A and B are shown apart, each in its own frame.
Chain A
Amino acid sequence: MILFLKSIGTKRGALLIGLSLVFALLLGLFWDDESSEYAEISHNMLQLKQLDARLDRDMLRISSFLMVQYDPLVNTTNNLREMKTKIDLLVKEHDQQLRDLFSTYWQGMDEKLFLLEKIKFQAALVRNGIHYLPIIAEELRSNEPRLYEEILVLINQLYTYHLFSADSQFSDVKIKLEQIKQHEIDDAESQSLMDQVLFHIDSDLHGLAKLDLLKRRYLDIPSQDSFEAIHARHEANRIAETSTKRQLIMLLTVVVFILLLGLWQLIRSLHNAHQEVNRSWYRLHDAVNNLSEAFALFDAEGRLVLFNQRFGDFYPWLKERDMEALTLKELQAVTGSRVKNLNLEGDAILDLLPQGQYLEKLDSGAWYLSSNNHTTEGGLVCVRSDITESKRAEADLRKLGRVLEQSPASVVITNTEGIIEYVNPRFEKVSGYTAAEAVGENPRFLKSGDKTKQEYQDMWSSLLAGKEWRGMFHNKRKDGTIYWESASISPLRDERGNITNFIAVKEDITAQKRAEDQLRMNATVFDTTAEGIMVTDEENRIKTVNPAFTRITGYSQEEVLGRTPNILSSGRHSKSFYEELWESVLNKGYWSGEIWNRRKDGSVFPEWLSISAIKGEHGIAKEFVAVFSDITKHKENEEQIRYQANYDALTGLPNRSLLSDRLNQAIAAAHRENWMLAVLFVDLDHFKVVNDTFGHVVGDELLQLVSARIRACLRESDTVARFGGDEFIILLQDVTEMDSVANVATNIIDHITRVFSLYGREIYIGASIGITVYPDDAVNADSLLRNADMAMYQAKERGRNTYQFFTASMQQHTLERRQLELDLRQAIKRDELEIYYQPVINPSLNKVVSVEALLRWHHPYRGMVSPAIFIPVAEDSGQIGPIGEWVLKKSCQQLKKWHNAGFSDLKLAVNLSSRQRELGLEAGFLKSVLMETGLSSDFITLEITESLLMRDTDEAMAWLSDFKALGVSLSVDDFGTGYSSLSYLKRFPVDTMKIDRSFVNDLPDDIEDVTLVRTIVAMAQSLNLSLIAEGVETSEQAEFLVETGCENLQGFYYAKPMSAKELNHWLSADVLETGTT
């Protein structure tokens, strides 16, 4: 309200205040600005005066020769110039007179500066003269002493003149000068000096006079007076300026005062108006407060201007707030979701401040009829009246109406005549007739016609007597369908007890009728389903069974009623199994699983059984329903899968995994029963050859036959399993003596070595068997199998087709091998390996053809270890990989050395093992070694064993071909000891054959060996292979071999393997001649 009033007066007030401010500002401006410009001029003038004074001072110093250098003067001059520019700029705006005065002053200063320059020069000249005169006089002294004296007097007079510059002094000098000029001099040199003296004195006098004149002119310049004039003018200006300003200030002060007076008057009248307004305001407020409606008035800015007590009562949350400061926005924010706006029809309005009439519903349940209307000034009038009571009554009525409308029962109200006055929606839905169709009708239009007239009459008489009637109607819908209704009809009375209407409440019971039908159908399912169903009571006595039950079990319903399901028990399940089953049923309410039961005929069958408990009122099982199906077929399929997982598909024998189970079981049993147990490891001999030669089909069939033969040699309780390709394991349980085991083994070998006839071919194979015994040799499955394997290898080594018991020495051997393996690892690190070289001789040419690299191991405490021992170890452990590469590299480097030493056609043979291929040795490595050493591949032969050629033919072939492609030769070592198949010699790119020492040993006496060697030689010649015979120890052997056609020989007869160093000596010495080493 106060703000509102203030706003009326603001415009005029603001104008007044603004004006006073402007004038006050002007006042301040004039007050303050009075002196700054004048002050600056004054300040500069002060400096100017200082500079002027300094200039005068310096002039005096120069003219009295006190200033030795003029740099300070330059500074002063420069400062003066700057000052001139500065002051000229400052006085540009000032009156002409001041400017003229300054201009006069500057003229004076320019004159001063001009004279000063002249003084500077003149002073320099005079000073030089004064300084020079005594010097030149001194030069005259020796020639003209008298003259010298005179001149000294003159110089002194001159100095006096310098000091006092009086006219009398000047005339003294003149007189003296004239006297000296009269002096006659004969000597030309003295004359010239004299002339000099006179010239300089003359010039000095001249200069001095000029200097004096300049000085006087300088001092005559009235710069001081000019300055004073300027100063006086400046002061006058300043005073004049100040006085005009003072007048202005006076004027401004008066104006400001008047303005302030006006302002005061305005404020007073405003105050009066304000009070008047306040009074009418309170009257209005009073009226508003007495309204029964809530009232609030907001101004155009949304501020709450006027409101009554009731407004606060209507919105109780506003009471905590300062209502005076409330704005429309705050009101809305505070109100928030506490109030819902609805239009008069009762639909929600989203608008927070609807215009016109609407309803407000508070969360407290109160209802207000509200209206918001804008005033002409843009304010807002809010009026609220409480309609909660009428709203509540309306709601109650509506609730009752809804009960009828939404009742799940059909309701029909008739008058006392039985004419329908009202039907509810349920009736419409059930009967299919709309209310419009039904009202005004007699309910008999629903009749289906199965009720007698008598029944209707009874109903009516009972009703008219004021009693309630209950019964069932079999009615007809509008669409003609029949439905069942149970009805209760009762009279309605008014306050006086007169019957005004009848009300019928009817329920559609068609669904109940349907449920009964459903039950009947369920019974049929029960009877016809393929799954057996059995219901037992709480004591687990059979109450009922279905026909499928009879079909599956063979028991009829009569036979089982009252009995427990135990009659079906197969006896295959333990007591605990049934306990768990019942626990689940009783606790969880169900159980399902696989169970074996027995039919009436005694046969046992698997079934899938589900048992559910049907609980009674107290949650205690009342009945149990068991449903089961025969899963015999299903079971058979499962068996099949289990078989495949455990048995070898080819032979039908247990496979590795079942063997492992059996073996563990057997060990457990043997342990329990204190039995002995024998494990036989059977490995077929030559099976691979059969497979490679005749193909897999033949091989597979052979294995089937072999497994049948083995089985035939065993008891039923013994197990034979297929362990790997051609390996079988036999498990003999309950062994008492070793002899019987040995017999079994012999028997098996016997059977296997017999001829097999397949596809019209006769095939011979053999078997080697390793035997190990529990608990003597080992106590666990793995160890037993490993022992048996080792024993089997031993048997093979002893010559095939035999058996071998595992022995303690084998154990020892195993340990030693392991130790050796560890030592070998160290050997590489410790540099214990060395390459020896054994020469190969061509006796016909009497020449060392090549050397074979042989590895030696200097074991730290075993001494020299045979390659036959450590090479297999290296192969097994994989160490042959790095060792082999080392040998290749070292021996090639050595060969290069020999080549360099002059044995330039010496060749080198290095042994290659098939393990090296598996360990990743590639031809590329040899190539890089050859590159490094610079050796030609022609000099290198790689020696391979027959066995290498036999294994993994294709890959081995590719591998060797890679090497061959480098240009190295290949040689087959130990020819004749293996399978000696000619076919591989044709297929592999072999260049050389080495005849094994075992054929050479007994030459030339052994006829068989002689024949063999001859055959080999012939074969080599036919295949165009060169030959080397190993192990030549005697001259007879050598002679025979040479004679037979074997051109190259190797052996102790010529040379044993030697270290590189020894071989150096050997090669250098002409040892071939002697034939010994």
Chain B
Amino acid sequence: MKVRYLAAMHKKLFLLLFFLSYVPSLWAAEIKNEPILPLNLPLDSNPKLIALGDQLFHDRRLSRDNSLSCASCHLLSSGGTDRKPRSTGVGGVMGGIKAPTVYNSSFNLAQFWDGRADNLVIQAEGPVHNPVEMNSSWPEVISKLSRDAAMVEAFGQLFSDGITGKNIAIAIAAFEQTLVTVNSRFDRWLTGEQILNERELRGYRLFKSYGCISCHQGANVGGNMYSYMGAKGDYFKDRNSEITQADYGRYNVTGHEDDKHYFKVPSLRLAAINSPYFHDGSVENLDEAIRVMGRYQLGREIPDDDIRDIIAFLHTLVGEHNRFKP
């Protein structure tokens, strides 16, 4: 009796396992073959390290006069930027360039507009030392943090060498890697959900046919290449303002004459909500930004109707994060 019952049980169990074995493939629905890929969270993560990075990201002791933290210019609630053409550093000093978003920054091929940091760890060092940003230095920051017993303990638990500049940067970078705006409507469309409307789909088609897609592609819709600002027209001449050091872009890093006015192509993931636009923050509106892009990068005038649809498409790229309140 019991044996038979067990046998029946086994049969059921087997069937269940059989069906379950299909679930992953059902779940991971076929991703559409498009130049844009969905965003995903990093797989491996150390919660303690992330928590520490989170704390440091919001720690004003990283600036000389304890007035600024990373989060001062990269407001997580409003898209990871301060939405200003130039950010204000310690003592009210104006920065030379528009602050890019921290969201999804781990997908970029390098950090900063000019790509002077290969990765987030190196990047984290930049603003701390930049005189027009935090205007501090590692020894100064370390001496401040070392007076905080809780900090000393947190670092002690994670690193054998305690509080160092490198370790601060590692922690902040680990936290920044979790700043991924997943689950956007476009990503859901990519995984097979029919949730984009006609206008949004048309916007995407236009985005591709105008050639925007040539540079703004990949998971981050940009961020994975450098591009010449003004490929089909002289942007800087038409801008009508003096050329700044920042305008030289990647040239500032490599010193190659060829790299002049080359910039890292920015991600368009949060473009719909993060104005102003371009490295100089010179354009306030998205439609104008698209127009400028068409004119100087594609050599084309894009009609207003198309711009409107492209904007609709760009809105579908905005994903979710628990700190982010669009």
Bound CA span A120–B298, Å? 15
Indicate if the CB atoms of B107 and A71 lie closer than 8 Å. Answer: yes
CB of B263, distance to nearest CB on chain A (Å): 10
In the assembled complex, A317 has its CB within 8 A of some CB on chain B:
no
CB closest residue in chain B, given A68: B35
CB of A118, distance to nearest CB on chain B (Å): 7
The proximity string for A residues 118-157 relative to B, scoring 1 for CB distances below 8 Å and 0 otherwise, is 1011011101100110010000000000000000000000
Indicate if the CB atoms of A77 and B109 lie closer than 8 Å. Answer: yes
In the assembled complex, B256 has its CB within 8 A of some CB on chain A:
yes
- Which residues from chain A contact B220 at a C-beta distance below 8 Å? 71
- Which residues from chain A contact B107 at a C-beta distance below 8 Å? 71, 74
CB closest residue in chain B, given A62: B225
Known: A71-B107, A124-B215, A132-B211. A118 touches B227 (CB 8 A): no
Which residues in chain A, 72-105, are within 8 Å of chain B measured between CB atoms? 73-74, 77-78, 81
In the assembled complex, A69 has its CB within 8 A of some CB on chain B:
yes
In the assembled complex, A1062 has its CB within 8 A of some CB on chain B:
no
Bound CA span A118–B35, Å? 20
Interface residue range, chain A:
20 to 34
Q: Of B34, B231, B254, which contacts A114 at CB under 8 A?
A: B254
In the assembled complex, A70 has its CB within 8 A of some CB on chain B:
yes
CB of B164, distance to nearest CB on chain A (Å): 18
In the assembled complex, A117 has its CB within 8 A of some CB on chain B:
yes
The proximity string for B residues 243-267 relative to A, scoring 1 for CB distances below 8 Å and 0 otherwise, is 0000000000010101000100000
In the assembled complex, A199 has its CB within 8 A of some CB on chain B:
yes
Known: A69-B35, A69-B37. A74 touches B218 (CB 8 A): yes
CB of A509, distance to nearest CB on chain B (Å): 103
Bound CA span A974–B109, Å? 118
In the assembled complex, A203 has its CB within 8 A of some CB on chain B:
yes
Which residues in chain B, 203-257, are within 8 Å of chain A measured between CB atoms? 209, 211, 213-215, 217-220, 224-228, 231-232, 254, 256
Bound CA span A77–B119, Å? 11
In the assembled complex, A384 has its CB within 8 A of some CB on chain B:
no
Bound CA span A81–B219, Å? 21
- Which residues from chain A contact B224 at a C-beta distance below 8 Å? 69-71, 73-74
In the assembled complex, A200 has its CB within 8 A of some CB on chain B:
yes
Q: Of B217, B298, B299, which contacts A70 at CB under 8 A?
A: B217
- Which residues from chain B contact A131 at a C-beta distance below 8 Å? 209, 211
CB closest residue in chain B, given A81: B118
Indicate if the CB atoms of A125 and B231 lie closer than 8 Å. Answer: yes
The proximity string for B residues 290-309 relative to A, scoring 1 for CB distances below 8 Å and 0 otherwise, is 00000000111000000000
Give the residue among B209, B218, B225, B256 with the most A Cβ atoms within 10 A: B225
The proximity string for B residues 34-78 relative to A, scoring 1 for CB distances below 8 Å and 0 otherwise, is 111100000000000000000000000000000000000000000
Which residues in chain B, 116-130, are within 8 Å of chain A measured between CB atoms? 118-119
Bound CA span A70–B262, Å? 17
Known: A132-B300, A203-B299. A69 touches B232 (CB 8 A): no
Indicate if the CB atoms of A124 and B214 lie closer than 8 Å. Answer: yes
Bound CA span A73–B299, Å? 27
CB closest residue in chain A, given B217: A69
CB of A136, distance to nearest CB on chain B (Å): 9
Indicate if the CB atoms of B256 and A114 lie closer than 8 Å. Answer: yes
Bound CA span A68–B216, Å? 10
Does more than half of chain B's interface fall in helix, strand or loop, or is it mixed? loop
Bound CA span A131–B206, Å? 12
CB closest residue in chain B, given A135: B209
CB closest residue in chain B, given A130: B211
Bound CA span A487–B215, Å? 149
CB of A198, distance to nearest CB on chain B (Å): 12
The proximity string for A residues 536-550 relative to B, scoring 1 for CB distances below 8 Å and 0 otherwise, is 000000000000000
Bound CA span A127–B36, Å? 17
Indicate if the CB atoms of A70 and B254 lie closer than 8 Å. Answer: no
- Which residues from chain A contact B36 at a C-beta distance below 8 Å? 69
Indicate if the CB atoms of B217 and A128 lie closer than 8 Å. Answer: no
Chain B: residues with Cβ within 8 Å of the partner, total of 32
Bound CA span A43–B214, Å? 36
Which residues in chain A, 158-200, are within 8 Å of chain B measured between CB atoms? 196, 199-200
Which residues in chain B, 98-132, are within 8 Å of chain A measured between CB atoms? 107-109, 118-119
- Which residues from chain A contact B109 at a C-beta distance below 8 Å? 70, 73-74, 77-78
Bound CA span A77–B36, Å? 19
Indicate if the CB atoms of B225 and A128 lie closer than 8 Å. Answer: no
CB closest residue in chain B, given A115: B258
Q: Of A73, A77, A124, A199, which contacts B227 at CB under 8 A?
A: A124
Indicate if the CB atoms of A71 and B219 lie closer than 8 Å. Answer: yes
CB closest residue in chain A, given B226: A117
Known: A77-B109, A121-B225, A203-B232. A70 touches B218 (CB 8 A): yes
Which residues in chain A, 48-70, are within 8 Å of chain B measured between CB atoms? 68-70
CB of B121, distance to nearest CB on chain A (Å): 12
CB of A4, distance to nearest CB on chain B (Å): 53
Indicate if the CB atoms of A121 and B227 lie closer than 8 Å. Answer: yes
Indicate if the CB atoms of A117 and B225 lie closer than 8 Å. Answer: yes
Indicate if the CB atoms of A127 and B214 lie closer than 8 Å. Answer: yes
CB closest residue in chain B, given A199: B299
- Which residues from chain B contact A132 at a C-beta distance below 8 Å? 211, 298-300
Indicate if the CB atoms of B37 and A71 lie closer than 8 Å. Answer: yes
CB of B58, distance to nearest CB on chain A (Å): 28
Bound CA span A70–B227, Å? 13
- Which residues from chain A contact B211 at a C-beta distance below 8 Å? 124, 127-128, 131-132
Indicate if the CB atoms of A71 and B225 lie closer than 8 Å. Answer: no
- Which residues from chain B contact A124 at a C-beta distance below 8 Å? 211, 214-215, 225, 227
- Which residues from chain B contact A114 at a C-beta distance below 8 Å? 254, 256
CB closest residue in chain B, given A117: B226
CB of A409, distance to nearest CB on chain B (Å): 98
Indicate if the CB atoms of B214 and A128 lie closer than 8 Å. Answer: yes
CB closest residue in chain B, given A116: B225
- Which residues from chain B contact A203 at a C-beta distance below 8 Å? 232, 299
Indicate if the CB atoms of B226 and A121 lie closer than 8 Å. Answer: yes
- Which residues from chain A contact B219 at a C-beta distance below 8 Å? 71
CB of A125, distance to nearest CB on chain B (Å): 6
Bound CA span A135–B210, Å? 10
Bound CA span A123–B211, Å? 12
Bound CA span A114–B227, Å? 12
Bound CA span A118–B261, Å? 12
- Which residues from chain B contact A73 at a C-beta distance below 8 Å? 109, 224
CB of B237, distance to nearest CB on chain A (Å): 17
Bound CA span A780–B300, Å? 136
Bound CA span A711–B326, Å? 120
- Which residues from chain B contact A117 at a C-beta distance below 8 Å? 225-226, 262
CB of B201, distance to nearest CB on chain A (Å): 18
CB of A200, distance to nearest CB on chain B (Å): 6
Bound CA span A331–B108, Å? 85
- Which residues from chain A contact B298 at a C-beta distance below 8 Å? 128, 132
CB closest residue in chain A, given B256: A114
Indicate if the CB atoms of B232 and A70 lie closer than 8 Å. Answer: no
- Which residues from chain B contact A128 at a C-beta distance below 8 Å? 211, 214, 298
Known: A74-B109, A128-B298. A120 touches B225 (CB 8 A): yes
CB of A976, distance to nearest CB on chain B (Å): 97
Indicate if the CB atoms of B258 and A118 lie closer than 8 Å. Answer: yes
CB closest residue in chain A, given B211: A128
- Which residues from chain A contact B213 at a C-beta distance below 8 Å? 68
Bound CA span A78–B108, Å? 10
CB closest residue in chain B, given A118: B258
- Which residues from chain A contact B228 at a C-beta distance below 8 Å? 121
Bound CA span A131–B298, Å? 11
Q: A81-B119, A121-B215 are in contact. List 16 more A-B contacts (CB 8 A).
A: A69-B36, A70-B109, A70-B217, A70-B218, A71-B218, A77-B109, A78-B109, A114-B256, A120-B225, A121-B225, A121-B231, A124-B214, A128-B214, A131-B209, A131-B211, A135-B209
In the complex, 16 of the A-B residue pairs with CB atoms within 8 angstroms, ordered by the A residue number, are A69-B36, A69-B37, A69-B224, A71-B218, A71-B224, A73-B109, A74-B109, A74-B224, A78-B119, A114-B254, A117-B262, A120-B226, A128-B211, A131-B209, A131-B211, A135-B209
Which 6 pairs, one residue from A and one from B, show the smallest C-beta to C-beta distance? A128-B211, A124-B214, A71-B218, A69-B217, A68-B35, A70-B224
